[in-house]
Amino acid sequence: MSSKVKSNFHQSNPLFNDEDIQQFPNILIGTSEKPQQNIEVFYVKSGRALEAVYAESLNGISSLSVDLEFDDNRYSYGRTISLIQIFNNTSIFLVDAILIENIKPIYDLLENKFIEKIFHSCSSDLSILMDVAQCFPKNIHDTSLMFSLLLENKDNISLSKLIEQKINIHLKKEAQVSNWVKRPLSESQLKYAAYDVVYLPMLKEILERDLKALNRTDWYFQDRKALENIRHEAKSPAKRLARKYKLNEFKTLLLENYWLVADELAKQLDKPNYRIIDNKQLVEMVENPPSSRADWMNLRGCHPRLKRQPYVSKLIEAYSITEKKYQQVKNKNTITKQLPNAMKWRSYKKHDLLLNERGLLFDKLRELMAEQKGDSLQALVMPSRIKNNMIWEGFDFLTPWRKEVIEELAKENNIDISSISFSLVSNP
């Protein structure tokens, strides 16, 4: 940070007690290929400090390295962005998203398509930015994605492991699972946060070189552009839990209604949902619903307030609400109702046969890819988690290079893949 910015805060040395901005010892980075650099680290704690940092050190830059620290219903209710780490290749700014009421300048930077943003494994970061701040970053690089395209490992790689593998530097990561909502943040947390961005430009340069050597730059370009189009839909925790325990339709509806009551209390107390009721206890309530008020009052594995008014009455009422809702669903043509609207052009019987055929074809192609192309490529092109998407959407949601890999595999093995080449969401 320039001396001009420092003067805006009337700083004196040392800076650790400043209410607006706190400076930490510089980080020294470098490799055998590059000269060592001294990187300044600043913890930005007020809106006026952020305004000055933006004006002096972030406005007009062409590249940023970015990371987020957040809480996802672990220490407090809901999803909370705690800290945004920004590295402008000269200084690191740790922007406190809890202490600063308005961090819109940072969101504007992330959405600026003319500024390159370097993340590592950005999926969770993008999800929480979109969900909490309605921020949709553009011009994204992802070092985790770049590494995956090298096909050196079929599993995701952590940032510390990637730094160790590509730069030969070992980082300690003790603060990774700490409470990022509680204030004040410790010096060890802030140091951890700073190291999460400082090596990203160096990694990007190394990985770009490696991809170019393997002629996979175009693969990365396609996947990188796709990152901007990701839209993370809020997933119902109750439905995820119901799928995990393979609950039927009625029990799933009941679980959702119980969850809504518990969630209301969680929000009121600003506590994560698991602190209100344990998931196993919630499922047990669904499998064996308490039949009397006394049963509810003796319930274990939940917050005491959940057994008091008005919540105990709401839990009791949830069962009758579920019965009425289930009956309404049952009286309708549930098969037609559950299909996408555009699928109604096809009879359910034909559609069901086609879905089964596409599922079997996916499994066959996936097995062949592992055998003939290797586990790393299979994990990248046809992971098991995309099976449902592939069955419904065919190749429509895949990047072109992935489609080409599958078509090449099918051709080599004389497999007709025409039945899975089109989407069932719209008329072929």
| 284 and 324 in a common domain | yes
Domain presence at residue 425 = no
| 175 and 253 in a common domain | no
| 372 and 274 in a common domain | no
In angstroms, the CA 79 to CA 181 distance is 10
Query: Which residues neighbour 168 within 8 Å (Cβ) at sequence distance 6 or greater?
Result: 31
Report pLDDT for 12.
Answer: 41
| 366 and 287 in a common domain | no
Coil/strand/helix, residue 415: coil
Contact 377, 369 (CB under 8 A): yes
| 206 and 264 in a common domain | no
Contact 223, 145 (CB under 8 A): yes
Report pLDDT for 282.
Answer: 93
Number of independent structural domains in the chain: 3
- The least confident of 58-72, 220-234, 235-249, 408-422 is 220-234
pLDDT band per the 50, 70, 90 thresholds, residue 163 = very high
Report pLDDT for 10.
Answer: 42
Report pLDDT for 174.
Answer: 63
- At 181-205, the pLDDT tens digits run 999 999 999 999 999 999 999 999 9
Average pLDDT, the chain: 87
| 300 and 164 in a common domain | no
- The least confident of 146-155, 259-268, 286-295, 409-418 is 286-295
Report pLDDT for 428.
Answer: 37
Query: Which residues neighbour 163 within 8 Å (Cβ) at sequence distance 6 or greater?
Result: 169, 171, 199, 203
| 348 and 298 in a common domain | no
- At 279-295, the pLDDT tens digits run 999 999 999 999 888 88
> Is the bond into 35 cis (omega within 30 degrees of 0)?
no
| 124 and 52 in a common domain | yes
- Length of the chain as a residue count: 428
Question: Domain range holding 252?
Answer: 237-330
- At 104-115, the pLDDT tens digits run 999 999 999 999
The whole-number average pLDDT for the span 304-318 is 92
Contact 236, 263 (CB under 8 A): no
Report pLDDT for 32.
Answer: 67
The whole-number average pLDDT for the span 383-407 is 91
CATH number of the domain enclosing 149: 3.30.420.10
Domain presence at residue 372 = yes
Greater confidence (297 vs 140) lies with 140
Domain presence at residue 415 = yes
| 345 and 297 in a common domain | no
| 285 and 354 in a common domain | no
Q: Which of 400, 376, 383, 402 is nearest to 157 (CA)?
A: 376
Give percent above pLDDT 70 in the chain: 88
Domain presence at residue 427 = no
Q: Is residue 366 pLDDT above 70, yes or no? A: yes
- At 321-359, the pLDDT tens digits run 999 988 877 765 454 444 454 444 444 455 678 888 999
The whole-number average pLDDT for the span 240-262 is 93
Q: Is residue 217 pLDDT above 80, yes or no? A: yes
The whole-number average pLDDT for the span 51-73 is 95
Domain presence at residue 53 = yes
